[in-house]
Amino acid sequence: MHVDRRTAAARQSASCRFKALVDRYEPALVSEHLAWSTHDTTYYNDLLPLPYTPATVSRVADHIDEMQRAIGRPILLENPSTYVLFPESTMSETDFIRDLVRRTGCGLLLDVNNVFVSATNHGYSALSYLADFPLDHVGEIHLAGHAEQEDDEGDVLLIDSHDGPVADAVWKLFDVVIGRCGPLPTLIEWDSDIPDWPVLKAEAAAAQAILDRHADSDYIFGKAHAAG
């Protein structure tokens, strides 16, 4: 995680293990979430949110630099699903992410479901988020299903649950993104309440149909970025 309160020694050892993993499997893309999971000595096993300020942007940039140096290649940073805001934030999430790209040279993993979940939870438009997002740095897309709960006021609170089909609204946003970026490596995350194979296969086919539809269109950003 990029905002990591472990000791420098613990992070160093994690960096070495991570480098060994990357060296062994040589993955086409390496990504990590904009989130934190460890504080002091406790590992919380969840993607926890952070305020967006000049101080936190420096800290996250340092950690991305550290990771990229360790593995000798750029990573893709993934936008989070969040359920709370920090009143102390002075930057928008898209400005925060753009700043990280500029400082570290990392690419981006755009989780379209996370965009929709966070936009719904915090009352902004997913389309304007995408309009502000540095799409020309996106090297991979994630899609997923979400669950519906209620917040304290009885308004809809969406949970990034990975336990159901991709929502219609998320398919539409994916279509918009691919229309602008051209086809990008796309992963559907369905890792809880996993359905029968034909259901999963149909979900992948639906994504492929959108990618195919935009395969030859005149998109704004080139395929060169897809390689990260």
Chain centroid to Cα 186, Å, comes to 12
Candidates 28, 86, 127, 209; binder of another protein (CB under 8 A) is 86
Nearest distance, CB of residue 177 and another protein, angstroms: 24
- Kindly identify the residues of this chain, within the stretch 47-66, that bind another protein according to CB under 8 A: 48-51, 53, 55-56, 59, 62-63
Candidates 16, 23, 44, 69; binder of another protein (CB under 8 A) is 44
Nearest distance, CB of residue 221 and another protein, angstroms: 30
Nearer to another protein, 124 or 219 (CB): 124
Burial of 227 (0-12, 13-18, 19+ CB in 10 A): exposed
Q: Which amino acid is at 189?
A: E
Q: How far apart are CA 34 and CA 60, in angstroms?
A: 8
Residue found under tokens 């420096």: 58
Nearer to another protein, 149 or 217 (CB): 149
Instruction: Kindly give the pairing relationship between strand 138-144 and strand 147-150.
Output: unpaired
Nearer to another protein, 66 or 175 (CB): 66
Q: How far apart are CA 111 and CA 80, in angstroms?
A: 8
Candidates 24, 26, 72, 123; binder of another protein (CB under 8 A) is 123
The answer to the question of residue 36 lying near another protein (CB under 8 A) is yes
The answer to the question of residue 145 lying near another protein (CB under 8 A) is no
The answer to the question of residue 25 lying near another protein (CB under 8 A) is no
The answer to the question of residue 38 lying near another protein (CB under 8 A) is yes
The answer to whether residues 38 and 44 touch, using CB atoms and an 8 Å cutoff, is yes
The answer to the question of residue 224 lying near another protein (CB under 8 A) is no
Candidates 25, 26, 46, 216; binder of another protein (CB under 8 A) is 46
The answer to the question of residue 187 lying near another protein (CB under 8 A) is no
Residue found under tokens 């936009």: 119
Q: How far apart are CA 76 and CA 102, in angstroms?
A: 13
Nearest distance, CB of residue 170 and another protein, angstroms: 19
Burial of 225 (0-12, 13-18, 19+ CB in 10 A): middle
